[in-house]
Chains A and B, each alone.
Chain A
Amino acid sequence: MHPAPSVIVFTTLSGLGFGLLAFLGLGLPDVSGMTAFVFFFIGYGLAIAGLLAATFHLGNKVNAHKAFSQWRTSWLSREGVCSVAALLVMAPYAIGRIFCDANWAILGWVGALLCLGTVFTTSMIYAQLKTVPRWNMRWTPALFLTHALAGGALLAGQISAAAILLALLGAVLAISWKQGDQRFEDTGTTLGTATGLDSIGTVRQLEPPHSGKNYLLKEMAFQVGRKHSAKLRAIALALGVIVPVLCLTVLPFSHGLALVAILSHLVGIMAGRWLFFAEAKHVVSLYYQS
Chain B
Amino acid sequence: MTALPEAADKKLGLVIDLDTCVGCHACVVNCKEWNTSNYGNPLSDIDAYGAEPEGTFLNRVHAFEVTPDTGGCAQTIHFPKSCLHCEDAPCVTVCPTGASYKRVEDGIVLVNENDCMGCGLCAWACPYGARELDALAGIMKKCTLCVDRIYNENLPEEDREPACVRTCPAGARHFGDLGDPSSDVSKLVAEREGMDLMPEMGTKPVNKYLPPRQKDTLLADMALTPKSEEPKGFLAWLDKALEAL
Contacts and interface: CB of A to CB of B under 8 A. Distances in A.
Interface of A: 1, 57-64, 66-70, 72-77, 80, 125, 128-132, 187-189, 191, 193-197, 199-216, 219-220, 282-284, 287
A70 B121 contact: no
**Chain A's interface: helix, strand, loop or mixed, by majority?**
mixed
Nearest to A193: B198
A70 B60 CA distance: 31
25 contacts: A66-B98, A66-B117, A70-B95, A70-B98, A72-B1, A73-B2, A73-B93, A75-B94, A76-B96, A76-B119, A130-B127, A191-B64, A195-B64, A197-B64, A200-B69, A200-B75, A200-B214, A201-B69, A203-B65, A204-B64, A208-B62, A215-B123, A216-B129, A220-B123, A284-B129
A72 B221 CA distance: 67
B171 interface: no
Nearest to B119: A58
Interface of B: 1-3, 18, 28, 52-57, 60-70, 75-77, 79, 81, 90, 93-99, 114-121, 123-129, 132-135, 137-140, 195-202, 209, 211-212, 214
B60 A209 contact: yes
Contacts of A132: 124
Given A129-B90, A130-B202, A283-B198, 15 more contacts: A63-B99, A69-B98, A70-B2, A70-B97, A70-B98, A76-B119, A130-B201, A194-B197, A196-B195, A196-B209, A200-B211, A205-B63, A209-B28, A210-B54, A214-B60
Contact of A196 (B3, B67, B197): B197
A133 B237 CA distance: 75
A128 B116 CA distance: 20
A206 B65 contact: yes
Contacts of A203: 64-66
B125 A129 contact: yes
Contacts of A67: 96-97, 117, 119
Nearest to B118: A59
Given A130-B90, A197-B77, A213 B54 contact: yes
Nearest to B97: A66
A202 B199 CA distance: 18
A127 to B, nearest CB: 12
B138 A189 contact: no
Contacts of A125: 94, 121
B200 A74 contact: no
